[in-house]
Structure 1
Amino acid sequence: MSLNVVTKSIALADGREITIETGKLAKQADGSVVVRMGNAMLLATVVSNKEAREGVDFLPMSVDYQEKFASAGKIPGGFLKREARLSDMEILISRLVDRALRPLFPDDYHAETQIMISLISADKNVLPDALAALAASAALSVSDIPFGGPISEVRVIFKAGEYLINPTPTQIEEADLEMIIAGTIDNILMVEGELNEVSEEVMIGAIKAGHEAIKDHCKVQLELTEAVGKTVKREYSHETHDEGLKADVKAKTYDKVYAVASEGIADKALRKEKFGAIKQEYIDSLPEVAEGEETPSEFLIDKYFHDVEKEAIRNSVLDNRIRLDGRKLNEVRHIWSEVDYLPGAHGSAVFTRGETQSLTTVTLGTKMDQQMIDSAMNSGYNKFMLHYNFPAFSTGEARPNRGPGRREIGHGNLALRALKRMIPQGDENPYTIRVVSDILESNGSSSMATVCAGSLALMDAGIKLKSPVSGIAMGMISDPETGKYAILSDILGDEDHLGDMDFKVTGTDKGITACQMDIKVDGLSYEVLTEALMQAKEGREHILNEIRKTLSESREDLKPHAPRSFTMKIEKELIGAVIGPGGKIIQEIQNESGATVVIEEVDGKGIISVFAVDGDSMADAIRRIKNIVAQPEVGETYTGKVKSIMPFGAFIEFMPGKDGLLHISEIKWERVEKMDGIMEVGEEVKVKLTEIDPKTGKFRLSRKVLLPKPEKAE
């Protein structure tokens, strides 16, 4: 069978090139492409069923990004030695692609759709995650699946006053801003990244720079669609409507819903109850159906009532400038917080904002607690972890606990990125740190509550944060026909669901540290985006002030039960002496002192890290190590043990592994004729180091110089 291969190229500003190839691999999929940059190659496939499952009124789409170990010439670790479940990093990349693509499918398209993106060849100088959405969009573009794209995604960094697009891993080092930006040829769809306390102006500049590159990617995909002849998409019919029922639901419920939305009810449960009563009242008012007639669909009633709720609530906000819970547009809900709530944790905090609450703990560990990273593109260790848990009871629901899902991993990662640049690095922080946020109540922006609670818990633990971090979730409601819009600070869960934008921003009093934005409406101007950022800054500063009322800076010391650390450098040649044959010496130090001792070689030096839960344990371990690595000094006094006795004197072990000669003439001031009965093997002797032979390195000891010198007889 002959191949009909089509290839398009995207020329980058720095001379590199991205190619998109279709028609060679995975041709039974609805659409498939290979995207290549350097030696990095991504295979993206998309398949969508022709029909939707009955009763489904959403898009059941899954996006999976996976890095094949063979792509980098590696064999997976673990027992199975094969790719297993997606890693957290792969899940995060999958989420980025999903968030960019999902808004562009038709609202009435409900067929099960699967998008798979695989890294099949790796290049150490190319970061493949920034190409994943381009590959997925290109696969959709060469298929007949209805899709409002194309889209693309780029990584933008800001370094030395310059914006760079899809930089190399080396270029990312020490950048002040790193963001992934997705968009269509006309609009920005999604933004996520971490920043080193940069200004709103710098962030807006990064979004603009990224969008210019995205436009070029989209133009090439349109050419690709034209070349493969997929400009006409498949026909589908996934929804059944009853226009009469739809009109009836709106006519009889809209005003009532609008009235409740305008009441400003702060209690989430009470609002839900009142809206539910309106729907039930409508259902109860329906006339009994005569025999042979069709009963109105409960599914459609729910759907149309939801549409009424959305329209009425949005209009109420735009008309009255007052929100569902009665707040002003820029008003943040009441905040209270508490630290040191859990006496057994190394650090803890409760942060509550409105009906959202996080109980966050900090645990300090040793180097042995570091998380091992083993993936196709990355290997190494991670010493700062943040885990986010969202149990069902936090929203008053009952469902099985199946462990963290993609949402939990994504929210936890956003909070981690918000805080990690504020954590001391290198010698300033010898600890492995694990932060855990358990959401106990949720009504909007629990990830931002995690950031605030995380800051408080870290400061409570005694970690010297560069600055506390606060976070806020912003929303927007707009009407393209009238041009009205409302930017909402500290959004509720309902406002997130019904709004046009979900924009999370975290930062210190100096600038932004992380952001995550999803835009659900076309044509958001940079002026409105700037206004949202400045309103977010105002909200962040308010929340930061509330945090400081509870704890203004990190505690001076760790909790009494938290592990203490001590770090010292030794010469590389002494590492073996501390470890001992087969690890005998270091194991003995740990067993007898109760401390944990970790040794590693860094830049030609031995770095010893000691961790202990109390001062006595720490002091004992340090004393033992110093005895091993200490260098003999002429003039110092030592307590040694007699190792052997010779006719001319005794050999004394005055330091671990170091023997010196105590000559017979140096034992006493009086003359000693022979060694018999003078000393015994194993006897402790206090001696002074008097000389180190410059040629042989042998040690000469004296005992008599420590004794009183006898007076001469007259």
Structure 2
Amino acid sequence: MLRRPLLAASCPPRRIRSLATATFPTQQSATVTVGEAEVTFRSGHMARFADGAVTAETADSAVLATVVSKPKSNGGTPTDFLSLNVDYKQSAAAVGRIPTTYLRREMQQSDADIIASRIIDRSIRPLIADGYTGTTQILCKPMALDETADGVVLGLNAASAALAVSTVPMRAKVAAVRVGIVDGQITVNPPMNAFTQSPLNLLVSGSREKRLVMLEMEGDQIRTEIFLESIERAFTQVDKLLDLFDDFESNSDKEKTPIDSAYAEAAAPIKEAMLDLVNDPLTYILLDPTHDKTSRDVAINELRKSVVDSLYDKEGTTSQSMLNTVFADHVKSTLRRLTLDLGQRCDGRQHTEFRPISIQTDVYKRLHGSAIFQRGQSQVMGTVTFDSPAAAFHPDSVAQLLGAQQKKMFMLHYEFPAFATNELSTSSRPFNRRELGHGILAEKSLKYVVPDDFPYCVRLACQVLESNGSTSMASACVGSLAMYDAGVPLKAPVAGVAIGMVSNDEGKYAVLTDLAGIEDYAGDMDFKMAGTARGFTAMQLDLKTLGLTPDQLRDALVAGRGGLDHVLGKMNEAIDKPRAEFKPTVPIIATMPVPAHKRNVLFRGAAYNAKLIEAETGVRVYVEDDESVGLLAPNKDKLAAAKKMIETLIEENTSLDLIFGTVYKCEIAELAENGIYVRVRPGTRPVFIPNRNLDTRRVAHASALGFKQGDYVHVQYLGRDDASGQHRFS
């Protein structure tokens, strides 16, 4: 009797899908010369399951950008928050290195990776179509990089091209270039290693009609005319990239996801009903200059609850989420209309007017330097700490290969605690992306004015105590003030200001000086500028529109330059020059000549003697150069004690310089069971001579030969032992 195969009837045959029958995107490739770099873009050959994937290649370097987007099945309610996540993930393999982490794997993103992610995000976010509620993830991954390649610009352009061939709907396309000054000439996309000598590092993201979408700038007091010329040069190359991205989109076989109009149709009657309820009371709240941030927020929130409760239909199609979204849109549109039509801001200021500024320096005597900068309801405290050059930040080898500064003697850390906005902290992380980005911007604002030959390593900690807009630029101001209070001879004081803008569809716009929090929320622009009286040191532009026109950019620069001069004047009234002498709490830095061959006395055995000196005197000992060691002492007395300890240790442990075969007259310092200790020269460490070298006969104890402590004997030097390296005498 034949048996049936088990599961024959219950398991249908598997259908194997061949890659030959799979539908993959059309392969595309194009090359364009951008400034001094030739860039090739390829799509359809790699990561083909993603909604969009493009590699940007130049010379031997390449970056892959992928786009994955998942539209909501029910359309969803548009909100202020666009679900967009951008990650730039560095690869040690791309630079030919093994990661330096414990597991030798790429673990978390570095600071540079996070800053790159933010740059790409800020360039793309304002250009995604209004009303798109899907979740989008963009991942940029370097495949190969050398020291001349700009991974950030390659990643941003690859991401823009990947969006062009994806299903994500866009209002416009964006392209990016980097501008520097090489040999005195403004240059677009120079090699990255050229920026070590360039006084300007400007990254520009732009769209059609010379619209500026995003920028990141740091420089050594760059004049306005140089900056504008650099922007003009950048746009001569941006259009080349945009043309290429248009070709990629037209040849793509993917259709853009349509925007669901259901929300707009449902929201239209709600807007009309809400207009009658909230227009007058909301206008009154927004025009009342007696309100501060807290009272205004409370009044608006109470009005929102009242309106939502009156319009909410539990059995109908009107949801609370939709009502809240419509109300938020109405608050924004009302504030923008009042600012444009009446020329008045919600706190009663004119467009070019600043909030009140107050400054306090030398807040705590114990600190090396400190200041508090208050602008309206934004308050930041800055503290300066001096330490030895050994405390400088040294990035890992992979970061250095990617262009990181090899030794960082000035560092700024920015902290934004939850209490600054009266909120509860829900994160256990020491900092977030926003804090890191603001800190890097404030550090760029100040680093060009810190003297290169300043002997101390400087850490500037900026702590936000109250926040109502522009705390990163307040950090630049307080940092300059705190360093003056500490006695740092800055090349020039630095101030910072945030410039905003509101505009309408008819092309009317207003530029706002000293942006407040609610204006940042409802407005179109947050343009942060820092600089000295001579020029700009750092800029950062964030937009919600399709980009700044050339006229809007020039008006913003004029407002920024006037704002910086105003703040610098206030700062000069508080403290106009650095402290003449350091505070008594500032440690003393000194050097002490110690030749390299004697330095092992201090640093051998895991630097035991150097740690011993620090434990007993509080003086830190570190390597300064080949001829000396550095000392960081709390005061002069401790410094003198440490120097004396070093001299004693070296004297007791320094190797003798002896001539082979020479006979020396030595003092017996000690008799031991198996030999004697003799001091070849006064003040030197005794050396050991075993019993077997004291006589041709067997010697049980040195006293049998009549030796006593303090006697003198003649010994012959026989060089060092090959195994132990110890001196040999007979």
Q: Return the TM-score normalized by structure 2.
A: 0.81
Contact 1:158 1:164 in 2 (8 A): yes
Q: Closer, same or farther in 2 for the Cα pair 1:247/1:544, shift >3 Å?
A: same
Q: Which moved more, 1:414-423 or 1:382-391?
A: 382-391
Mapping 1:8-87, distance limit 5 Å = 8-14=30-36, 16-51=37-72, 57=79, 58-87=81-110
Indicate whether 1:488 and 2:512 are aligned. yes
Task: Tell me the distance in 1 between the aligned counterparts of 2:239 and 2:274.
Answer: 42
Instruction: Tell me the SS of whatever aligns to 2:101.
Output: coil
What is the CA distance between 1:116 and its match in structure 2?
0.4
2:13 is aligned to: none
Query: Which amino acid is the alignment partner of residue 216 of structure 1?
Result: K
Letter in 2 for 1:367: P
Contact 1:628 1:655 (8 Å CA) reproduced: no
- 1:125 is the counterpart of 2:148: yes
Look up the match of 1:145: 168
Which among 382, 389, 394 is matched to residue 420 of structure 2? 394
What do residues 627-648 of structure 1 show as CA deviations (whole Å, max 9, x unaligned)? 8999xxxxxxxxxxx99359xx
More moved, 503-512 vs 54-63: 54-63
Q: CA deviation at 1:347?
A: 2.0
SS of alignment partner, residue 394 of structure 2: strand
Q: Who is 1:505 aligned against? A: 529
Match of 2:155, as an amino acid? Answer: A
CA distance in structure 2 between the partners assigned to 1:681 and 1:511 by the alignment: 77
The alpha carbon displacement at 1:607 in A equals: 4.9
Task: Give the direction of change, closer, same or farther, for the CA distance of 1:552–1:266 in structure 2 (3 Å limit).
Answer: farther
1:418 counterpart = 2:445: yes
Name the Cα RMSD after superposition.
3.1
Q: CA distance change for structure 1 residues 493 and 584 in 2, over 3 Å: closer, same or farther?
A: closer
Tell me, what secondary structure is at the counterpart of 1:371?
coil
1:521 deviation in Å?
2.6
1:378 is paired with a residue whose SS is helix
- Structure-2 separation of matches of 1:569 and 1:330: 58
2:218–2:537: 8 Å Cα contact kept in structure 1?
A: yes
Contact 2:178–2:188 (CA under 8 A) maintained in structure 1: yes
* Amino acid corresponding to residue 85 of structure 1 in structure 2: Q
Counterpart CA distance in 2 for 1:460 and 1:342 is: 11
Q: Is the 8 A contact 1:185 1:219 kept in 2?
A: no
CA distance in 1: counterparts of 2:398 and 2:212, whole angstroms: 30
**What SS is found at the alignment partner of 2:355?**
coil
* 1:558 to partner: Cα distance: 2.6
1:239 to 1:342, Cα distance in 2 relative to 1, 3 A: farther
Which residue number corresponds to residue 696 of structure 1?
none
TM-score normalised by structure 1 residue count: 0.83
Alpha-carbon distance in structure 1 between the residues aligned to 2:646 and 2:197: 36
Relative to structure 1, the CA distance from residue 545 to residue 37 in structure 2 (aligned partners, 3 Å threshold; closer, same or farther) is same
1:314 aligns with 2:336: yes
Match for residue 547 of structure 1 among 567, 571, 584:
571
Per-residue deviation at 1:78? Answer: 2.7
Say if 1:51 and 1:236, in contact at 8 Å, map to a contact too: no
The one-letter amino acid paired with 2:529 is V
1:358 aligns with 2:385: no
- 1:223 is matched with 247
- Whole-Å separation in 1 of the counterparts to 2:66 and 2:397: 22
| Inter-CA distance 448–680: structure 2 relative to 1 (3 Å threshold) | same
Question: In the alignment, which residue of structure 2 is the partner of 1:479?
Answer: 504
Cα 1:148–1:485 shift into 2, 3 Å: closer
Unaligned runs of 5+ in 2: 1-18, 652-663, 669-678, 687-708, 713-730
Comparing 135-144 and 547-556, the one that deviates more: 547-556
Counterpart code for 1:472: V
The question of 1:7 aligning with 2:23 is answered no
1:594 maps to 2:618: yes
**Structure 2 match to 1:693:** none
Superposed displacement of residue 301, structure 1: 1.8
Question: Would the alpha carbon gap of residues 597 and 247 (structure 1) be closer, same or farther in structure 2, given more than 3 Å must change?
Answer: same
Deviations 1:349-399 (A, max 9, x none): 211110001122222222343333126342644332211111222112223
Whole-Å Cα distance in 1 between the matches of residues 317 and 217 of structure 2? Answer: 50
> What corresponds to 1:93 in structure 2?
116
Native 8 Å contact 1:66 1:117 kept in 2: yes
- Aligned equivalent of 1:529, options 529, 553, 556: 553
Q: 1:372 is paired with a residue of what secondary structure?
A: coil
Match of 2:295 in 1: 270
What is aligned with 1:247?
272
Distance in 2, Cα, partners of 1:528 & 1:55? 32
Q: 1:261 to 1:586 in 2, by over 3 A?
A: closer
Contact 1:451 1:470 in 2 (8 A): yes
Do the aligned partners of 2:409 and 2:456 also contact (CA within 8 Å) in 1? yes
Query: How much has 1:233 moved relative to structure 2?
Result: 1.1
Q: CA deviation at 1:67?
A: 0.9
Tell me how far apart the structure 1 counterparts of residues 232 and 552 of structure 2 sit (CA, whole Å). 14
Counterpart secondary structure, 1:598: strand
Taking the aligned partners of 1:148 and 1:13, their CA distance within structure 2 comes to 26
Distance of aligned partners of 1:472 and 1:111 in 2 relative to their CA distance in 1, 3 Å threshold: same
Offset from partner CA, 1:567-595 (integer Å, 9 cap, x none):
46666666557656875664555455431
Match for residue 228 of structure 2? 204
SS of match in other structure, 2:395: strand
User: What is the 5 A alignment of 1:611-690?
Assistant: 611-622=632-643, 644-645=666-667, 652-653=681-682
CA shift, 1:531, in A, is: 2.1
1:709 corresponds in structure 2 to none
Could you tell me which of 302, 321, 342 is aligned with 1:299? 321
Given that residues 78 and 132 in structure 2 are in contact (C-alpha distance below 8 angstroms), is that contact kept between their aligned partners in structure 1? no
Aligned pair 1:453/2:475, yes or no? no
Change (3 A) 1:584 1:244: closer
Distance 2:262 2:641 in 1: 74
Cα distance in structure 2, aligned partners of 1:563 and 1:503: 39
SS of equivalent to 2:568: helix
Query: How many correspondences in the alignment?
Result: 641
What SS class does the counterpart of residue 143 from structure 1 fall into?
coil
Deviates more, 1:468-477 or 1:154-163: 154-163
After TM superposition, the structure 1 stretch with the greater mean CA deviation from structure 2, 456-465 or 253-262, is 253-262
Separation of aligned partners in 1, 2:601 and 2:415: 45
Displacement of 1:653 in angstroms is 4.1
Using the TM superposition, give the Cα deviation of residue 12 of structure 1 relative to its aligned residue in structure 2, in angstroms. 3.3
Matched, 1:102 2:125: yes
The alpha carbon displacement at 1:557 in A equals 2.7
- 1:272 & 1:608 partners in 2: Cα distance? 58
Query: Are 1:594 and 1:612, in contact at CA under 8 Å, matched by a contact in 2?
Result: yes
Percent identity between the two aligned chains: 32
Tell me if structure 2 keeps the 8 A contact 1:67–1:90.
yes
> Residue 621 of structure 1 aligns to which amino acid in structure 2?
A
- Structure 1 contact 266–326 (Cα < 8 Å) conserved: no
Greater CA deviation, 129-138 or 521-530? Answer: 521-530
